[in-house]
Amino acid sequence: MKKTSTRLADGRELIYYDSRDDTLRTAADPRPLAPVTTTSEVRHDPLLGDDVAIASHRQGRTHLPPADECPLCPSTGARPTEIPDSSYDVVVFENRFPSLAGDSGRCEVVCFTPDHGASFADLTDERAALVLDAWIDRTAELSHLPFVEQVFCFENRGAEIGVTLGHPHGQIYAYPFTTPRTARMLRSTARHRAATGRNLFDDVLARELADGSRVVLETGAWVAFVPYAAHWPYEVHLYPKRRVPDLLGLDDTARTEFPGVYLDLLRRFDRLFGPQAPPTPYIAAWHQAPFTTPTAGGSGELADRDEFALHLELFTVRRTSGKLKFLAGSESGMSVFINDVPPEDAARRLREAALR
């Protein structure tokens, strides 16, 4: 992997990740851009203990432009974009409309391919491995920023999810706090350790492997399963068999196997609802341990970061062909999910969706 860092016209950082070591990146951004100004601030909810990002400047962000006006495609002579070069492998750059900025965090965009009409599932194993390299590199770099406590790599796909740019891309958020979801996991892990002397993530994984009914696929280094209490109709959790707290801890075997495993899962999601169905909307989210002492509010001791298990959660809001799962009163009002699809049935359908 070759890494080339440059700056866009407004001062934002952009990094090319190339498979070939002899690739040269010299194109400059010709656009007359003013420096980015943001109104981002983080406010704390004293009742729930949550931190909320207030970012009113995002109201003017680009929304579902036509393909010939996509800001994530490579630049051409007639139309410069966010990526100055005329081609690229993988690119990461600071978001022009960040939810978090300054001491309140950092937001980055990850472009997986220059092909506007593609998706992550269309990538080669080599390109998917390069995306993983970029996630690992950015996690390492962002973890060293003094205000960053947790790094979150994720992808939203599909207008049903709320995607505003159709080009295949993901994002990376560097939070100045531990997210509420991670804090809940750390509290549960601390309680489990105190009660049993064992690691909660290890026990969850062992239970799924022993039961087997919800396991979707398994390799030497990875296990993908539908969780016992899945929140979403089709939800898969992907764990490395060797527990590590973050992407930086993945060994060579896990890194080598990841592209094949992940691409297989994404392609199964696209086959779930039949050959005539539109691409399945999904969220793919990497859960990593915080890098500093958590500052999230709430009662209860939080487990040490080494007790946390890196894992990816992949889920869709589509519950059946032509129907979406909306978060209604119970989910949105009280955070109590109601799932229409038994996890065992979801796992069976995902196993059946394997390419034969």
CATH of the domain at 164: 3.30.428.10
pTM of this structure? 0.95
Q: Does residue 315 share a domain with residue 220?
A: yes
Joined tokens for residue 185: 């996991």
Q: Does residue 102 share a domain with residue 159?
A: yes
**Could you please report the per-residue DSSP string of 264-281?**
HHHHHHHHTT-TTSPPPP
Q: Is the pLDDT of residue 265 over 90?
A: yes
pLDDT tens-digit readout, 287-301: 999 998 665 455 568
Q: Does residue 155 share a domain with residue 31?
A: yes
Q: Is the pLDDT of residue 74 over 90?
A: yes
Strand partners for 170: 110
Active site residue 169: yes
Q: Does residue 205 share a domain with residue 343?
A: yes
| Structural domains counted in the chain | 2
Last residue of a domain, one of 146, 175, 204: 175
Q: Does residue 109 share a domain with residue 43?
A: yes
Residue 318 is part of which domain span?
A: 180-352
Q: Of the residues 116, 144, 169, 237, which is catalytic?
A: 169
What is the reported pLDDT for 152? 98
Q: Does residue 87 share a domain with residue 130?
A: yes
Question: Contact 9/32 with Cβ under 8 angstroms?
Answer: yes
Read off the pLDDT of each residue in 213-227 and give the average, rounded to a whole number: 98
Question: Contact 150/177 with Cβ under 8 angstroms?
Answer: yes
Classify burial at 121, counting beta carbons within 10 Å of its beta carbon; exposed 0-12, middle 13-18, buried 19 or more.
Answer: buried
Joined tokens for residue 276: 């005539």
What is the reported pLDDT for 299? 54
Q: Is the pLDDT of residue 240 over 90?
A: yes
> pLDDT band at 329, cuts 50/70/90?
very high
Question: Dihedral angle at the C-alpha atoms of 255, 260, 262, 268, nearest 10 degrees?
Answer: -170
Q: Does residue 251 share a domain with residue 336?
A: yes
Classify burial at 254, counting beta carbons within 10 Å of its beta carbon; exposed 0-12, middle 13-18, buried 19 or more.
Answer: buried
Q: Does residue 151 share a domain with residue 290?
A: no
pLDDT tens-digit readout, 91-129: 999 999 999 998 899 999 999 999 999 999 999 999 999
pLDDT tens-digit readout, 147-176: 999 999 999 999 999 898 999 999 999 999
Q: Does residue 230 share a domain with residue 161?
A: no
Q: Does residue 115 share a domain with residue 254?
A: no
Q: Does residue 299 share a domain with residue 171?
A: no
Q: Does residue 166 share a domain with residue 18?
A: yes
Last residue of a domain, one of 145, 175, 205: 175
Last residue of a domain, one of 113, 147, 175: 175
Read off the pLDDT of each residue in 139-144 and give the average, rounded to a whole number: 97
DSSP H or E stretch at residue 205: helix 200-211
